Amino acid sequence: MDDKFSPIPARVLPEAFSDLEPFSQWALATESERIAARDSSTLEELQVFYEVMMARIPAIIGYVDKFPFDRLPDDARNLFNLALSAVEASIAVELYHQPQVINGFDRARFRPVE
């Protein structure tokens, strides 16, 4: 596993989404982590993740919304966090065509309050 992401145990996703296991390092719970992951990935990595996720987001919503949203099982929560990360990845793939914001602000001085 790439050491720039926090280690996540294997099989973090629901069985029906085992095809997304190779991307489980994107199951990031906070916006700060998702931003950091985008910033530190290559455009190629972001592109692969984004394209796989674009095809799976409708099914992910369908699955996750079978549970009460404030009491998601861990694997459904991880799955949903992948979808949130795909939105973050789309910034690089769709808008800037590079991982980082073009002419972006100093990350240390732009802080999500979490």
Partner 1 sequence: MTIEADNKRWSAKYPELGTGPVSAEPCISPEYFELEREHIFRRSWLNVGNVCEVPELGDYIVRDIEVVSASILIMRGRDGVVRGFHNVCSHRGNTMAWDASGNCRGYLTCNFHSWGYDSLGQLRVVPDEDNFHNFDKSQHGLTPVATEVWNGFIFVNLDSKPHQTLGDYLEGVTGNLTGGDFDKLTLVRSYKIDEKANWKIGLDAQNEVYHLPFQHKYIMPDVFAANSAGYTRVKDVTLFKRHSVYSCDMNHEHKPSPMETLIGQIDPGRTRCRLPTKSEFDFYVLFPNFVIIIFRGISNDSCVTYNFWPLAVDHTIWEIRFYSPPATDAAERLINEFGQTRTRLVFEEDAVAHETVHTGLKSRAKRHLIFQDEEIQLRHFHKVVEEHVAQAKGD
CB of 21 to partner 1, least distance (A): 20
- For partner 1, give the closer residue by CB, 1 or 110: 110
Q: Which of 3, 10, 44, 103 binds partner 1 (CB under 8 A)?
A: 103
Span near partner 1 by CB under 8 A; candidates 2-10, 21-29, 40-48, 103-111: 103-111
Q: Is 9 one of the binding residues for partner 1 (CB under 8 A)? A: no
CB of residue 3 vs partner 1: minimum separation in angstroms?
Answer: 26
Site for partner 1 in 38-97 (CB under 8 A): 54, 57-58, 60-61, 64-65, 69, 80, 83-84, 86-88, 90-91, 94-96
Query: What are the residue ranges of helices labelled H in 26-73?
Result: 31-40, 43-64
Q: Looking up tokens 């719970």, which residue turns up?
A: 29
Distance from C-alpha of 46 to C-alpha of 57, rounded to nearest angstrom: 16
Own/partner long-range contacts of 42-46 (Cβ < 8 Å, ≥24 apart): 42/99, 43/92, 43/93, 43/97, 43/98, 43/99, 46/89, 46/92, 46/93, 46/99
